Structure 1
Amino acid sequence: MIIPLTILMLILAYLSGSLSSAVIVSRVYKLPDPRLHGSGNPGTTNVLRIGGPIPAVLVLVGDLLKGTIPVWCSYFLDLPPVSLGIVAIAACLGHIFPIFFEFKGGKGVATALGSILPIGLDLTGLLLGSWLVALIVTGYSSFAAICAAILAPLFTYAIKPDYTLPVTMLCVLIIIRHHPNIMRLLKGEEPTVWKKFNKDKDEDKK
């Protein structure tokens, strides 16, 4: 029963992830398509820039739930940790390559965090704290996400070792997705959150 259930949850997780919260919320609020404006990334930060805090919060909650719901359901179906990791990756792949939105998705950070949420609030708190500290210190949203992804397996091993492998699998995907950002960081070409936000505000005034 484990394999059929895993396959079923994998499909459902991908379809769940494919519901682009950023695009849906932007359409509801009659905002520009986040895939074509700002950074071009359909995620919380870009929606914050083009639409403000309320749409951004809705996008964040939607992206979190896309990861949390399928993984939580899989957990209650008593699927093993490795299967949970595969389901989490499927949800993130849905977010990154959404079948309903021309396969043009975001980085998958919020969805990955939502996938990790069922493991425990303590782990989630550590990851959010790490992300926030890195963001405040450096100003780079991408660097903060990468730091959290690197630390996640270590935190998981300290809190719930059985889930270290699936969390590691998920974090590797997130780091690979940030490859362009890593190259820009190494070249000193990655803009900070504050710079991008101020630039977009100036462009909106023109």
Structure 2
Amino acid sequence: MLLNVLLLLTAYLLGSIPSGLWIGQAFFKINIREHGSGNTGTTNTFRILGPKAGTLVFLIDFFKGTLATLLPILLHAQGISPIVFGLVAVLGHTFPVFAQFKGGKAVATSAGMLMGFAPAFCFYLILVFTLCLYLTSMVSMSSVVAAGAAILGALLFPTIPFLLTNYDLLFTVIIVFLGIFVIIRHKENIQRIVKKEENLVPFGLNLTRQIKKK
């Protein structure tokens, strides 16, 4: 019991590492919260600090979700599903104790959690995200679509079966929760998409005809 409590706390602290904020302050003397969208996650880091910093932030945010999920397996803890530890890391990423509980939008760390618990399902969502990114040129739209695909996949795939061979109630509940959570976290992005004002990446088809900012 004590080991699980310590590992859950460790998972939260791992998730709470505000990589974008710390990298911006340490190497660029920039508080990323004061620029762009004000978010500390991967997309705003790419936009403000550049691709090298953005890639590093993505990798850190992704693998802290994976590591948190694997903690109980690596340390032979029993009684709590590894996905719960991953979920705690995602909540830490979103509400980080090291950054006044104002964190990212949960996408990269959620993906990392899935890589540690259900890698085939994770690769399916990466494919959905990548295809949508090419078609729309929007990270936000791709994140929302991938979140929706995660919900549908968790509910429908075990009936086929495809990627998920059977229903795991806890897994299904967590994926549905996180999918809805990610969509809600992108509420402002969705509003900009409707207005044709969302930020674009410099590639892809921009099928929704967002107005490119000069």
TM-score normalised by the shorter chain: which range applies?
Answer: 0.7 to 0.9
Q: Give the Cα separation in 2 of the matches to 1:97 and 1:37.
A: 20
- 176, 179, 201: which is aligned to 2:184? 176
1:171 Cα shift? Answer: 1.9
- The number of residue pairs the alignment matches comes to 195
- 99, 103, 125: which is aligned to 1:105? 103
Identity of aligned residues (%): 35
Which is richer in helix? 1
- 46, 53, 67: which is aligned to 1:55? 53
Q: Give the Cα separation in 2 of the matches to 1:129 and 1:26.
A: 29
Aligned to 1:117: 115
Q: Please, which runs of 5 or more residues in structure 2 have no aligned partner?
A: none
Q: Is the 2:83–2:117 Cα contact (8 Å) retained in structure 1?
A: no
- 149, 152, 163: which is aligned to 1:159? 163
Aligned to 2:200: 192
1:171-202: per-residue Cα shift (whole Å, max 9, x none)? 22212212222233234332323499x85xx7
Q: Please, which runs of 5 or more residues in structure 1 have no aligned partner?
A: none
TM-score when normalising by structure 2: 0.78
Higher relative contact order (CA 8 A, sep 6+): 1
TM-score when normalising by structure 1: 0.81
Q: Is the 1:116–1:167 Cα contact (8 Å) retained in structure 2?
A: no
1:106 Cα shift? Answer: 1.4
Q: Is the 1:20–1:98 Cα contact (8 Å) retained in structure 2?
A: yes
Aligned to 2:17: 19
1:41-96: per-residue Cα shift (whole Å, max 9, x none)? 11122222222222111111110122111111134534444xx4443332122112
Matches within 5 A, 1:21-170: 21-76=19-74, 77-81=77-81, 84-156=82-154, 157=157, 158-160=162-164, 161-162=167-168, 163-170=171-178
RMSD over aligned CA atoms reads: 2.5
SS in 2 for 1:104: coil
